[in-house]
Amino acid sequence: MTWKHHHYAQILLGVFLVEAVWLAIDPHDRKDWLLENVLTVATLVLLVATYRTFPFSRISYTLIFLFLCLHEIGSHYTYAKVPYDAWSLSWLGFSINDAFGFERNHFDRLVHFLYGLLLAYPIREVFIRIADVRGFWGYFLPLDLTMSTSMLYELIEWAVAELFGGDLGMAYLGTQGDVWDAHKDMALASLGALIAMLVTAFVNARLHRDFAREWRDSLEVKQVRPLGEEELGRMVEGQSR
């Protein structure tokens, strides 16, 4: 790992910590802010703890940094009350909600979409460098994991809302009265991840001369013998010898 890579990671961490501390001052709902930042702290601890054994690329660190920065904005205001429309009126002179006919605050939807768009590539890096996946699976598995973790997060939101209840539960859940909120959030995260993997595949197809062969080889059957009860029978037979 080069000094340039190490220095870049330190800069991103420093900038994020400055933003996080700044937005930790007088959040809209302190209890909701604490709940929203549990996974953020866990992510930072994991990234720092594995930095020497598994340093991500600068591209991946940048994507993770952007997502966490946006999440901190959501946790400061609570996702349902991020004043992006007021910012738009102040800075650009027009209302985003009026321009697109929005009847709710859509900052949470944006961040769910960006969860897939920004984090699918770092997830792909994990699969390639640890599981050594290639070809089709190097694009499908990051998409699949992004979709499944998005679903898992919705279950966590539901469990937290049930556990704490009241205004805190509703602030953390952030449905804003939409009974299909969880479904739409998962769909947007999946769409973001799909776009990220399609763009990655397009770039690799243009630059990687073995792209087609690697994709084809990844879909070939590697083991002809079936598993399931057949494999179980072979294992039992092997132990009895």
Distance CA 92, CA 81 (A): 19
Cβ-based neighbours of 76, under 8 Å, separated by 6 or more: 23, 24, 27, 28, 33
Does residue 24 sit within a domain? yes
1 pLDDT more than 70:
no
167 pLDDT more than 80:
no
Tokens of 192: 């973001």
Tell me the DSSP string of 90-147.
Answer: HHTSS-HHHHHT--S--HHHHHHHHHHHHHHHHHHHHIIIII---TTHHHHHHHHHHH
Distance CA 119, CA 109 (A): 15
Rg (CA), the chain: 22
Distance CA 131, CA 95 (A): 46
Per-residue confidence band for 176, with pLDDT thresholds at 50, 70 and 90: low
Q: Which residue reads 């602030």 in tokens?
A: 171
Does residue 236 sit within a domain? no
Does residue 133 sit within a domain? yes
Per-residue confidence band for 102, with pLDDT thresholds at 50, 70 and 90: confident
Does residue 238 sit within a domain? no
Does residue 32 sit within a domain? yes
The residue segments making up the domain with residue 112 are 3-220
Distance CA 84, CA 178 (A): 20
5 pLDDT more than 90:
no
Tokens of 1: 């790992």
Does residue 145 sit within a domain? yes
pLDDT of residue 174: 61
| Contact by Cβ (8 Å): 147, 120 | no
The average confidence (pLDDT) of the chain is 89
Does residue 149 sit within a domain? yes
Angle at 21 between CA 165 and CA 43, to 5 degrees: 65
pTM above 0.85, yes or no: yes
Does residue 228 sit within a domain? no
Each residue's pLDDT tens digit, 58-84? 999 999 999 999 999 999 998 888 999
Distance CA 75, CA 82 (A): 9
Q: Count the domains in the chain.
A: 1
Each residue's pLDDT tens digit, 210-234? 899 999 999 999 888 887 777 787 7
Each residue's pLDDT tens digit, 105-153? 889 999 999 999 999 999 999 999 999 999 999 999 999 999 999 999 8
Residue 150: name the closest of 105, 192, 195, 199 by CA. Answer: 192
Stronger pLDDT, 207 or 167, i.e. the higher one: 207
